[in-house]
């Protein structure tokens, strides 16, 4: 790297702060410039250590993220620039650490609002250690075609428009970050673009000031003339004038000091930058512009004709042969980030997933078109939420109350049934709640709980085909299939299942029609003739009442009803309901601090073949 450069085409930086967008913008610039290595070596993020994915050209690379600068610097000793995005509260400590790190030579401080005394201490430290500070309160700087600090110069379209992807002949210094970008554009429109530009920041005490950079530009043979934008307040311009008088600056300099309007304000106004306050008369913009003009600096009449002065100077140097116009290199085709292209409607993209029941992208979740606020306002309950999320429509009250009734009666059936038992054994083995619940739920199937769905399938088919109860029972017997939903291990005609009574009473009272329930009762009458425990059980009852629900009113079409039964919706009710009970049993075991369960061997018949 040349002495007069702070960074160049091979420079790598460490970024302090989780600033993935800034890193991406730096790497996009790198790609446009044809850099071989990305300009970011590592990120320091005190909260996390990981690998951050960013694009370098068309492809993604991983930038390592470390928790401390110490580690980042140790792993990447070649990175000599640190770009510090920490807040004004912590920027002093982090910048100090960087200035004390041997491998770091340039520290860029982005934060605005660092106490002046802290900045001054950093400046003293930098001087002692022979290092350079850019900032504070800056967006950074840019070496055209080489290295870009953070968010400087914005996005790709601007970098191309302002010809920043390859070096021109002009060196720029300004305080303001926003205006520096403006001036890069002015220089590109009126000359061959910048070679380097720095925004030194709007604070009273910039870590490096105008003169530091102008003197670097003076020794850089590729820079043919310089442009600077000064500001009301401070005495930096007089230092420049002294340097011109001492022949330390000999290249043409175009400079304008803004703040000439201050004369309109009767009392002192604090402009946008902390350093921009009208102090003594000689710190006024008029006085400084006048002094610069007298020292031979090219001073425009106002910001309005800045561009003309740049053009005049450029044309003059070209005529003198000092500048040779070179053709712009071609810019590689730059891939548009997908998100951006989508937002501007440039591209369309097929989706991989589809969702037709809910939408979480707005202010609040929406279930099948109803916001949760609306749902609560209407006083809807869990039965209505099931209607919306499972059936994509609100269902009449007789239906939603039925869902809730099913949940209540099916929520638990004691600790002995296989699902609760499995959940209990798993919980006692020391597994977490979700594992224990899953173990219990996995028991649900054709013999436990799952009978509801099978019952619905057979009863629906029978009724829809117009079979009589007798024909149905006979057919099933001929096929050798036990009718799902018929039969109970304990209950019988004399000792009826209370749950079945509750559900069928409800249906009789509230449903417009109970055709399927009536059919099932006829089947039950036939089967209980054979054995008195072949009653309509709770699974069968839920199934047939649900079939009545599907057939009621004009809520579901026939094909929808068939699909609902086929897809296994009914098992869903059992899973939801019984999860409540299983979680209860699991928590019960935890509360009781029950240890590992081992089944007694005397309860097992060991009948293992003996070898001779």
Partner 1 sequence: MAQRGIREWDAKRLIVDNIDFPLTHDMALIRPHSDIDEIRKEHSFLSGKLVAKPDMLVGKRGKHNLVLLNKDFDECVEWVKKKRSGPVRIGPAKGELTHFLIEPFVPHEQEYYVAIQAERDADVIFISDQGGVDVEANWDKVKEIRVPVDELLKEEQVLEVLKQPVIAKFAAALHKVFADLDFVYLEINPIVLVGDKVHMLDMVAKLDDTAAYRSKEKWDGVAFPAAFGSTTTPEERYINELDSKTGASLKLKVLNPEGRVWTMVAGGGASVVYADTIVDLGFGEEMANYGEYSGDPNQELTYEYAKTVLDLMTRHPGKPKVLLIGGGIANFTDVAKTFTGIIMALKDYREKLIENQVSIFVRRGGPNYKEGLERMEDTGKVLGVPVHVYGPETHMTRIISMALGG
Active-site positions?
Answer: 273
Query: What is d(CA 61, CA 316) in angstroms, rounded to the nearest whole number?
Result: 46
Q: From the CB of 154, what's the least distance to partner 1, in Å?
A: 5
Q: From the CB of 270, what's the least distance to partner 1, in Å?
A: 6
Q: Quick one: which segment of 48-56, 69-77, 118-126, 362-370 binds partner 1 (CB under 8 A)?
A: 118-126
Contacts of 185 (CB under 8 A, 6+ apart): 158, 161, 162
- Is residue 266 near partner 1 by the rule CB under 8 A? yes
- Is residue 270 near partner 1 by the rule CB under 8 A? yes
- Is residue 293 near partner 1 by the rule CB under 8 A? no
Query: What is d(CA 519, CA 544) in angstroms, rounded to the nearest whole number?
Result: 9
- Is residue 281 near partner 1 by the rule CB under 8 A? no
- CA atoms within 13 Å, Cβ hemisphere of 354: 2
Q: From the CB of 226, what's the least distance to partner 1, in Å?
A: 18
User: What strands lie across the sheet with 358-359, from one edge to the other?
Assistant: 358-359, 366-367, 370-371
- Is residue 134 near partner 1 by the rule CB under 8 A? no
CB 83 within 8 A of CB 13: yes
User: What is the pairing mode between strands 366-367 and 370-371?
Assistant: antiparallel
Kindly tell me the sign of the dihedral angle through the C-alpha atoms of 315, 319, 320, 324.
positive
Q: Select from 174, 400, 410, 422 the one that contacts partner 1 (CB under 8 A).
A: 174
CB-based burial label for 103 (10 Å; 0-12, 13-18, 19+): middle
- Is residue 124 near partner 1 by the rule CB under 8 A? yes
- Is residue 260 near partner 1 by the rule CB under 8 A? yes
E strand residue ranges, 215-353: 225-231, 253-258
- Is residue 23 near partner 1 by the rule CB under 8 A? no
Q: From the CB of 415, what's the least distance to partner 1, in Å?
A: 56
Q: Select from 106, 276, 507, 534 the one that contacts partner 1 (CB under 8 A).
A: 276
Q: Quick one: which segment of 213-221, 301-309, 369-377, 506-514 binds partner 1 (CB under 8 A)?
A: 301-309
- Between 196 and 235, how does the x/- string for binding to partner 1 read (CB under 8 A)? ------x-xx-----------------------x-xx---
Q: Select from 39, 181, 195, 571 the one that contacts partner 1 (CB under 8 A).
A: 181
- Is residue 261 near partner 1 by the rule CB under 8 A? yes
Q: Phi, psi (5° rounding) for residue 302?
A: -165, 175
Q: Does residue 136 have a cis peptide bond before it, meaning omega lies within 30 degrees of 0?
A: yes
Contacts of 263 (CB under 8 A, 6+ apart): 284, 286
- Is residue 285 near partner 1 by the rule CB under 8 A? yes
Query: What is d(CA 253, CA 296) in angstroms, rounded to the nearest whole number?
Result: 9
Interacting positions 510-569 with partner 1 (CB under 8 A) = none
Q: Phi, psi (5° rounding) for residue 247?
A: 60, 20
Q: Select from 250, 344, 356, 494 the one that contacts partner 1 (CB under 8 A).
A: 344
Q: Give the interface with partner 1 as residue ranges (CB under 8 A).
A: 21-22, 25, 87-89, 112-117, 120-121, 123-124, 127, 139, 151-155, 158, 161-162, 174-179, 181-182, 185-186, 189, 202, 204-205, 229, 231-232, 258-261, 263-277, 285, 301-304, 307, 344
């Amino acid at each position: 790297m040349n002495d007069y450069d702070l960074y160049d085409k091979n420079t790598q930086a460490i970024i302090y702060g989780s600033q993935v967008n800034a890193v991406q913008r730096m790497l996009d610039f790198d790609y446009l410039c044809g850099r071989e290595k990305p300009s970011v070596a590592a990120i320091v993020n005190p909260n996390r250590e990981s690998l951050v994915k960013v694009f370098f050209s068309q492809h993604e690379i991983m930038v390592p993220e470390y928790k401390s600068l110490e580690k980042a610097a140790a792993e990447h000793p070649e990175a000599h620039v640190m770009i510090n995005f920490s807040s004004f509260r912590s920027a002093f400590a982090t910048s100090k650490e960087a200035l004390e790190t041997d491998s770091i030579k340039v520290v860029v401080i982005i934060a605005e609002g660092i106490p002046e005394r802290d900045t001054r201490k950093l400046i003293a430290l930098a001087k002692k250690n022979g290092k350079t500070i850019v900032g504070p309160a800056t967006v950074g700087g840019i070496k055209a075609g080489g290295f870009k600090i953070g968010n400087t110069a914005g996005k790709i379209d601007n970098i191309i428009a302002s010809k920043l992807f390859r070096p021109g002949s002009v060196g720029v210094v300004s305080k303001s970050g926003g205006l520096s970008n403006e001036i890069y554009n002015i220089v590109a429109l009126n000359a061959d673009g910048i070679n380097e530009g720095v925004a030194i920041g709007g604070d009273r005490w910039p870590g490096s000031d105008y003169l530091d950079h102008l003197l670097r530009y003076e020794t850089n043979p590729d820079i043919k003339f310089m442009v600077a934008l000064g500001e009301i307040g401070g005495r930096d311009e007089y230092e420049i004038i002294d340097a011109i008088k001492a022949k330390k600056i000999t290249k043409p300099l175009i400079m304008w000091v803004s703040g000439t309007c201050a004369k309109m304000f009767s009392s002192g106004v604090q402009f946008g930058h902390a350093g921009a306050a009208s102090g003594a008369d000689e710190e006024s913009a008029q006085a400084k512009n006048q002094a610069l003009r007298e020292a031979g600096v090219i001073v425009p009449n106002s910001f309005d004709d800045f561009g003309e002065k740049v053009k005049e100077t450029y044309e003059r140097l070209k005529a003198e042969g000092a500048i040779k116009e070179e053709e712009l290199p071609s810019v590689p085709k730059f891939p548009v980030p997908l998100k951006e292209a989508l937002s501007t409607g440039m591209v369309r993209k097929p989706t991989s997933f589809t969702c037709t029941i809910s939408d979480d992208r707005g202010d609040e979740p929406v279930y099948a078109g109803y916001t949760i606020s609306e749902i609560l306002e209407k006083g809807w309950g869990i039965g209505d939420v099931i209607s919306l999320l499972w059936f994509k429509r609100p269902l009449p009250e007789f239906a939603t109350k039925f869902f809730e009734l099913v949940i209540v009666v099916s929520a638990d059936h004691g600790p002995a049934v296989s699902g609760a038992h499995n959940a209990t054994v798993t919980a006692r083995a020391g597994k977490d709640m979700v594992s224990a619940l899953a173990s219990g739920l996995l028991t649900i199937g054709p013999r436990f709980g799952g009978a509801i769905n099978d019952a619905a399938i057979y009863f629906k088919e029978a009724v829809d085909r117009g079979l009589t109860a007798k024909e149905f029972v006979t057919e099933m017997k001929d096929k050798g299939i036990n009718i799902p939903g018929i039969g109970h291990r304990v209950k019988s005609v004399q000792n009826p299942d209370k749950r079945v009574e509750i559900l069928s009473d409800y249906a009789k009272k509230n449903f417009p029609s109970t055709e399927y329930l009536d059919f099932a009762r006829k089947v039950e009458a036939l089967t209980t003739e054979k054995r008195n425990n072949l009653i309509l059980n709770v699974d069968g009852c839920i199934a047939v009442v649900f079939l009545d629900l599907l057939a009621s009113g004009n809520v579901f079409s026939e094909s929808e009803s068939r699909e609902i039964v086929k897809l296994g919706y009914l098992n869903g009710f059992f899973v939801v309901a019984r999860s409540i009970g299983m979680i209860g049993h699991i928590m019960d075991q935890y509360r009781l601090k029950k240890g590992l369960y081992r089944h007694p061997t005397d309860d097992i018949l060991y009948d293992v073949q003996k070898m001779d």
